[in-house]
């Protein structure tokens, strides 16, 4: 059984641990700088050795890979340290907070001869996997447009904490939610090159922190003396080589009634198309038969899509460790997504369309 370590035992570190165990990885060790997070993790995972330092975890020879579930600004330094220690890395999204950091990480992986698997968990959702397969099977024909959206009426995570502090997170709803949408859209479309983007970001609710009314808060409660200098809404148009476009909308907070706007991915193909919700249990394919528009329902094996996705991601990491092989969601793809994110932020700042490098 392959042994792994978990670095960062907060909300997502704990999710990773549960799913790693479910698929047959042994979580041998864990480390967090916050003793309270370590204690909470150990309550759930009493058999995991809680290491006294990062160095002690990384020096364990029985640990082949580590999962990094830490704030975004630490992805680069800790991934580079883990790679240099000879570990394969399953890295939470986003890859880093700038594309320059991604390039340094790619160099580090190359130098160490180790692999970074990106934590693009949405790829493993049954509906996304089905859409990708439909694209591979040419059921959509030519995909000329994808609309990718995630709208939350009240979903600012940890207001005033690291999620809303640009120096730590790299940004708001775009780098947090948009990253999932972008990766899923690109994966379904077969990874076309995005050449130009035009985006706008909005910081509406964080500016009025004390007035932000909500019912529950991921990564909360709010720290009202903390910082919120990131966007809570982004809209962008992405132009791909060959002419296809992606419209991206990612929203942490808005004053629109729940459930009105279409969450998920709408795939426009010249042969057929569909709109998938990320956690859908079936796909309704809009197609043509004879001269008439026809709908076809495709059932998915998706009793619990989110759990299945986390299991799928953990299984992919287990395979990588077993074969020292290539990741399914590669670091290069993580870098591509980061380059698009950087370009959208630049476009928003400079109020113009920009090229993606």
Residues in contact with ligand NAD by the rule CB under 6 A: 7-13, 31-34, 37, 54, 69-72, 74, 92-93, 119, 121, 219
For residue 48, CA distances in Å to 12, 17, 22, 172, 314 come to 16, 10, 15, 33, 17
How far apart CA 236 and CA 256 sit, in angstroms, is: 19
Shortest-Cβ-distance residue relative to ligand NAD: 10
Least gap, CB of 275 to ligand NAD (angstroms): 21
* DSSP tag of 298: E
Least gap, CB of 288 to ligand NAD (angstroms): 36
Sheet order of strands, 65-68 included:
49-50, 26-31, 3-7, 65-68, 88-92, 116-119
Looking at beta carbons only, is 34 or 294 nearer to ligand NAD?
34
Instruction: Give the three-state DSSP class for 335.
Output: helix
CB 296 within 8 A of CB 304: no
Least gap, CB of 9 to ligand NAD (angstroms): 6
Looking at beta carbons only, is 39 or 110 nearer to ligand NAD?
39
Least gap, CB of 54 to ligand NAD (angstroms): 6
DSSP 71-107: -GGGHHHHHHHHHHTT-EEEEESSS-SSHHHHHHHHH
Looking at beta carbons only, is 37 or 298 nearer to ligand NAD?
37
Least gap, CB of 22 to ligand NAD (angstroms): 16
Looking at beta carbons only, is 64 or 76 nearer to ligand NAD?
76
How far apart CA 56 and CA 64 sit, in angstroms, is: 14
Question: How many CA atoms lie within 13 Å of 289's alpha carbon, on the beta-carbon side?
Answer: 5
How many other CB atoms are there within 10 angstroms of residue 154's CB atom? 16
Looking at beta carbons only, is 93 or 139 nearer to ligand NAD?
93
Least gap, CB of 246 to ligand NAD (angstroms): 20
* DSSP tag of 317: H
Looking at beta carbons only, is 54 or 184 nearer to ligand NAD?
54
CB 78 within 8 A of CB 26: no
Least gap, CB of 190 to ligand NAD (angstroms): 23
Looking at beta carbons only, is 163 or 205 nearer to ligand NAD?
163
Q: Which residues contact 190 (CB under 8 A, 6 or more apart)?
A: 135, 136
Least gap, CB of 100 to ligand NAD (angstroms): 18
How many other CB atoms are there within 10 angstroms of residue 322's CB atom? 10
- Strand bridging mode 194-202 / 49-50: unpaired
Looking at beta carbons only, is 9 or 347 nearer to ligand NAD?
9
CB 217 within 8 A of CB 158: yes
């Amino acid at each position: 059984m392959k042994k792994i370590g978990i670095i960062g035992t907060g909300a997502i570190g704990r999710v990773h641990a549960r799913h790693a165990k479910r698929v047959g990885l042994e979580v041998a060790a864990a480390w967090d700088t916050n003793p309270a997070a370590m204690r909470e993790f150990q309550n759930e995972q009493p058999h995991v050795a809680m290491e006294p330092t990062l160095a002690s975890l990384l020096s364990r020879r029985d640990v082949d890979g580590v999962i990094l579930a830490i704030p975004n600004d630490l992805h680069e330094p800790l991934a580079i340290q883990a790679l240099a220690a000879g570990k394969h890395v399953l890295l939470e999204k986003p890859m880093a907070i700038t594309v320059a950091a991604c390039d340094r990480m790619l160099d580090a992986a190359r130098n160490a001869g180790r692999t970074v698997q990106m934590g693009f968990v949405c790829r493993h959702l049954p509906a996304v996997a089905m859409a990708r397969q439909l694209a591979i099977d040419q059921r959509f024909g030519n995909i000329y447009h994808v609309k990718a959206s995630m709208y939350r009426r009240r979903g600012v995570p940890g207001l005033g904490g690291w999620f809303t502090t640009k120096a730590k997170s790299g940004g708001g709803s775009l780098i947090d939610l948009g990253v999932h949408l972008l990766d899923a859209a690109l994966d379904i479309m077969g990874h076309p090159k995005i050449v130009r983007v035009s985006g706008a970001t909005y910081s509406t609710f964080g500016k009025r922190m004390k007035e932000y009314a909500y019912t529950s808060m991921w990564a909360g409660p709010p720290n009202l003396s903390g910082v919120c200098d990131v966007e809570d809404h982004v809209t962008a148009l992405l132009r791909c080589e060959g002419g296809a476009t992606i419209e991206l909308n990612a929203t942490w907070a808005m004053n629109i009634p729940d459930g009105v706007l279409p969450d998920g991915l709408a795939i426009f193909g010249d042969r057929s198309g569909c709109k998938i919700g990320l956690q859908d249990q079936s796909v309704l394919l809009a197609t043509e038969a004879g001269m008439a528009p026809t709908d076809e329902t495709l059932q998915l094996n998706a009793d619990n899509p989110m759990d299945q996705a986390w299991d799928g991601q953990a299984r992919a990491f287990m395979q990588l460790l077993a074969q020292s092989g290539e990741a399914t969601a590669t670091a290069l793809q993580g870098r591509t997504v980061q380059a698009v994110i950087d370009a959208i932020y630049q476009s928003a700042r400079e109020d113009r369309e920009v090229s993606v490098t």
